[in-house]
Amino acid sequence: MCRLALKTASDAFSPYEVLQGMEAMQEGYDGSGLGLLLRGLDFEDFKYDSKYPILSGIAHSEEAWHRLNSFMEKRGFELKYDHEFETRPELIEAKDRYRYFLRAYKMPVELSAKSQEEIETELMLTRLALRKNGEDHGNDLTCFSFWPDVATIKEVGWPLEIGDALNLSDNRIKSRVCMAQGRQNTNYGINLYACHPFFIQGIATMTNGENTAFVPIRDWLLGKHFPGYTGYQSDSETFTHILHYTLKHLKLPLQAYKHIITPLRGDELANHPQSKFLTGLRDSCRRLIIDGPNAVIGTLPDETCMLVMDQKKLRPATVGGRPGSWAIASEMCGVDAMVPDRDPSLDFQPMREHTIIVPPERKELTIWSQHDPYPLDQAA
Write down how long the chain is: 380
Q: Which of 1-5, 99-103, 338-342, 360-364 has the lowest mean pLDDT?
A: 1-5
Going by C-alpha positions, the residue among 166, 149, 148 that lies closest to residue 157 is: 166
Amino acid identity of 344? P
Question: How high is the mean pLDDT of the chain?
Answer: 91
Q: Angle between the 62-74 and 116-136 helix axes, to the nearest 10 degrees?
A: 150
Rounded mean pLDDT, 30-40: 85
Rounded mean pLDDT, 96-104: 95
pTM of the shown model? 0.94
Which 3 state secondary structure label does DSSP give 320? strand
> How far, rounded to the nearest angstrom, does the alpha carbon of residue 286 sit from its chain's CA centroid?
24
pLDDT digits (tens, 9 = 90+) for 185-215: 555 557 888 889 999 999 999 998 777 889 9
Residue 40 within any structural domain of the chain: yes
Distance separating alpha carbons of residues 375 and 380, to the nearest angstrom: 11
Residue 100 within any structural domain of the chain: no
Residue 226 within any structural domain of the chain: yes
Going by C-alpha positions, the residue among 81, 17, 19 that lies closest to residue 52 is: 81
When pLDDT is cut at 50, 70 and 90, the band that residue 128 belongs to is: very high
Residue 92 within any structural domain of the chain: no
Residue 282 within any structural domain of the chain: yes
Count how many Cα atoms sit within 13 Å of the Cα of residue 262 in the half-sphere of its side chain: 24
- CB atoms near residue 35 (< 10 Å): 25
Domain total in the chain: 1
Residue 72 within any structural domain of the chain: no
- DSSP conformation class of 249: I
Distance separating alpha carbons of residues 36 and 116, to the nearest angstrom: 26
Residue 134 within any structural domain of the chain: no
Residue 169 within any structural domain of the chain: yes
List Cβ neighbours of 287 (8 Å cut-off, separation of 6 or more): 216, 217, 220
Distance separating alpha carbons of residues 95 and 111, to the nearest angstrom: 37
Rounded mean pLDDT, 106-117: 96
Which 3 state secondary structure label does DSSP give 266? helix
pLDDT digits (tens, 9 = 90+) for 325-362: 999 998 899 999 999 999 999 999 998 899 999 999 99
Domain span holding position 238? 3-48+149-378
Rounded mean pLDDT, 50-72: 97
Q: Which residues pair with 178 in a beta bridge?
A: 7, 38
Q: What is the pLDDT of residue 286?
A: 95
CATH code for the domain of 199? 3.60.20.10
- Concatenating the DSSP letter of every residue in 141-202 gives EEEEEEEETEEEEEESS-HHHHHHHTTGGGSSEEEEEEEEEE---SSS---GGGSSPEEETT
Going by C-alpha positions, the residue among 70, 9, 11, 3 that lies closest to residue 32 is: 3
End-to-end alpha-carbon separation of the chain, Å? Answer: 35
Q: What is the pLDDT of residue 144?
A: 97
